Amino acid sequence: MKKIGVLFGMENTFPGALVERINGMKVSGVTAEFVQIADVRMAAPCGYDVIVDRISHDIPFYRAYLKNAALGGTRIINNPFWWSADDKFFNYALATKLGVAIPPTVLLPHKEHPTGTTERSVRNLKYPLDWDSIFEYVGFPAFLKPFDGGGWRDVYKVNTPEEFFSAYDQTRTLCMTLQRGVNFKEYFRCYVVGQEHVHIMPYDPRAPFHERYVADPPAYAPELLARVQRDCRTLCQALGYDLNTVEFAVEDGVPYAIDFMNPAPDADLHSVGQANFDWIVNTVAELAVRRATEPGSGSTYRWDSLLKGAP
Ligand SMILES: Nc1ncnc2c1ncn2[C@@H]1O[C@H](COP(=O)(O)OP(=O)(O)O)[C@@H](O)[C@H]1O
Ligand SMILES: [Mg+2]
């Protein structure tokens, strides 16, 4: 029997619906359940063929458990090795190389020295920074946001150098990026599953939280939607994520990708709505079953092949 497990945190609607959907598909020899963890022994198989991971970014113990499980041949959605290695600034740079439109973005040194370090630890940094040149490259308005953030935490919109400095002063030891603000007309949040299936959700980040997923979207130019679909696949294939959301802010018909490192994207029924929820539950269920039933490539126990993920 092939076993699919769902590992999750505080969310309530998606994990149960996913387990129910997979079992409801009645694929012979495949069953799904919530992951159960007892003792975790090195190099021991975890008992699951596939794990859908929704929470290891918040629980280091789970991340370590998943890496150990991968050694035993478990396919993990998403690959914990790559997820551990990734950051948003690298993603912006990679996307630029791939021809996806990204607003000009810079990486900034920590405002306060990371715990346990002093100014002696950062003597390689040129000080003071040439802020005029940075502001000229990025432009205003701009967004100051963490290089590994999520859920709008520590995101600041700044319109002037003064506003920038007062926001930067509040960022403690976080590693931040500064990115040109896109003056967008359209905004899309897209689910991407299996690095292939794209579900475009018109989204209004300026609306109150419960009204953000636009119920009656206008008709969009087919070329725009085609480009969004293509960029979604390009990004997720390059990043290796089997489940991700990619957010685009569209200015003058150009979709700028601004947020696409979301390997445990919000999939709560009450925020995304029934139709989006049904799509994500069905598509992830099909992917998990596919991963559970396709032949594995066999692990070579090398960091580079683990990063690559299976198959
Ligand atoms: N470059 C940008 N241009 C316009 N709006 C932005 C930009 N960057 C962030 N935002 C706004 O801030 C919100 C949160 O930023 P985002 O990059 O999505 O981080 P998070 O991972 O926290 O969701 C976005 O949904 C968008 O409304
Ligand atoms: Mg976002």
Q: Pick from 157, 145, 223: which is nearest to 186 by CA?
A: 223
For residue 205, the ligand 1 atom closest to its alpha carbon is 27
Global pTM reads 0.95
- Is the CB–ligand 1 distance for residue 53 below 6 Å? no
The whole-number pLDDT of residue 311 equals: 54
Whole-angstrom Cα distance, residue 54 to residue 18?
12
Whole-angstrom Cα distance, residue 129 to residue 186?
35
- Is the CB–ligand 1 distance for residue 186 below 6 Å? no
CB 18 within 8 Å of CB 6: yes
The whole-number pLDDT of residue 253 equals: 97
From 91, 138, 143, the mutation candidate for ligand 1 (largest count of ligand atoms within 8 A of CB) is 143
- Is the CB–ligand 1 distance for residue 182 below 6 Å? yes
The angle, 0 to 180 degrees and rounded to 10, between the axes of the packed helices 131-138 and 161-168 is 110
Of 3.30.1490, 3.30.70, 1.10.8, 2.30.30, the CATH number of 115-180 is 3.30.1490
The whole-number pLDDT of residue 23 equals: 98
pLDDT (tens, 9 = 90+) of the chain, 311 residues, equals 999 999 999 999 999 999 999 999 999 999 999 999 999 999 999 999 999 999 999 999 999 999 999 998 999 999 999 999 899 999 999 999 999 999 999 999 999 999 999 999 999 999 899 999 999 999 999 999 999 988 899 999 999 999 999 999 999 999 999 999 999 999 999 999 999 999 999 999 999 888 899 888 999 999 999 999 999 999 999 999 999 999 999 999 999 999 999 999 999 999 999 999 999 999 999 999 999 999 876 666 677 788 777 65
Can you give the residue ranges of every domain in the chain? 2-84+288-308, 87-103+183-260, 115-180
Ligand index nearest the alpha carbon of residue 203: 1
Which element (helix H / strand E) includes 290?
A: helix 274-293
CB 262 within 8 Å of CB 91: no
- Is the CB–ligand 1 distance for residue 255 below 6 Å? no
The whole-number pLDDT of residue 297 equals: 61
Supply the DSSP symbol for 25: T
- Is the CB–ligand 1 distance for residue 60 below 6 Å? no
Whole-angstrom Cα distance, residue 199 to residue 281?
12
Q: Give, in order, the Cα–Cα distances in Å from 94 to each of 232, 235, 238, 261, 298.
A: 13, 9, 8, 12, 29
For residue 206, the ligand 1 atom closest to its alpha carbon is 27
Secondary structure class of 1 (helix, strand, coil)? coil
Class of CATH domain 2-84+288-308: alpha beta
The whole-number pLDDT of residue 140 equals: 98
Homologous superfamily of 87-103+183-260 = ATP-grasp fold, B domain (3.30.470.20)
- From ligand 1's centre to the CA of 119, what distance in Å? 31
CB-based burial label for 42 (10 Å; 0-12, 13-18, 19+): exposed
The whole-number pLDDT of residue 157 equals: 98
The whole-number pLDDT of residue 61 equals: 98
